Structure 1
Amino acid sequence: MSYRRGSGSSTAGRAIAVIADVMAFIIILWILMYLFDANRGNELVQFVQDSARWLAGWSYDLFTFDKAWARVVAGYGLAAAVYLFVGHAVAGRLRHS
């Protein structure tokens, strides 16, 4: 039986990277829906907005730009970037341990 050292941490690293990607995707999807003025009465749009707001709760309204679109892009964009950076950094560390 062949056992590869670190295969469990490699799998965990991949899982963390995928989770971070999905979280960032939801946030970026909401940014795009907001910028393209998606119908907020639509259930999918509401779900994406609620999910993005929950994921980016710590960075929502962090910036006080005059334009609402700039606040959305900066606040939610920061959350997406942090999830991608931290998620992939942790995944990389797990893969190389």
Structure 2
Amino acid sequence: MSTRRSSGSSTAARVIAIIADIMAFILILWILMYLLDANRGNELVQFVHDSANWLAGWSYDLFTFDKAWARVVAGYGLAAVVYLFIGHAVAGRVRR
């Protein structure tokens, strides 16, 4: 029975870590698209931008750098780091 519980918690931990990775990936992808001046009329770029805005709603414009690219990197980058840190910390706790 403990093998099942361990296997279940291991699966749950993996799912939590994967979700955190996907969230961070979307945020980092938007940062790259922004820095590379991706075509905002493109549907994929718009989808990534909208998703990143939703994920980083709490951290975007947290910093007031003069340069727009610095605000994007700091705001979205902070959200990505927080999601990775918290997601993997929770996954580690679940795994135990």
Deviation above 2 Å: which 4+ runs of structure 1? Answer: none
**Alignment match, 2:80:** 80
**Alignment match, 2:32:** 32
Q: CA deviation at 1:77?
A: 0.2
Q: Structure 1 residue 69 and structure 2 residue 69: aligned? A: yes
What's the % identity of the aligned pairs? 83
* Amino acid corresponding to residue 67 of structure 2 in structure 1: K
**Alignment match, 1:52:** 52
**Alignment match, 1:91:** 91
Is there any run of 5+ residues in structure 1 with no aligned partner, and where? none
Secondary structure in 1 matching 2:24: helix
Secondary structure in 2 matching 1:6: helix
1:25-47, Cα deviation, whole Å (9 max, x unpaired) = 00000000000000000000000
**Alignment match, 1:12:** 12
Aligned length: 95
Is there any run of 5+ residues in structure 2 with no aligned partner, and where? none
TM-score (norm 2): 0.96
1:46-87, Cα deviation, whole Å (9 max, x unpaired) = 000000000000001000000000000000000000000000
Q: Which is richer in helix?
A: 2
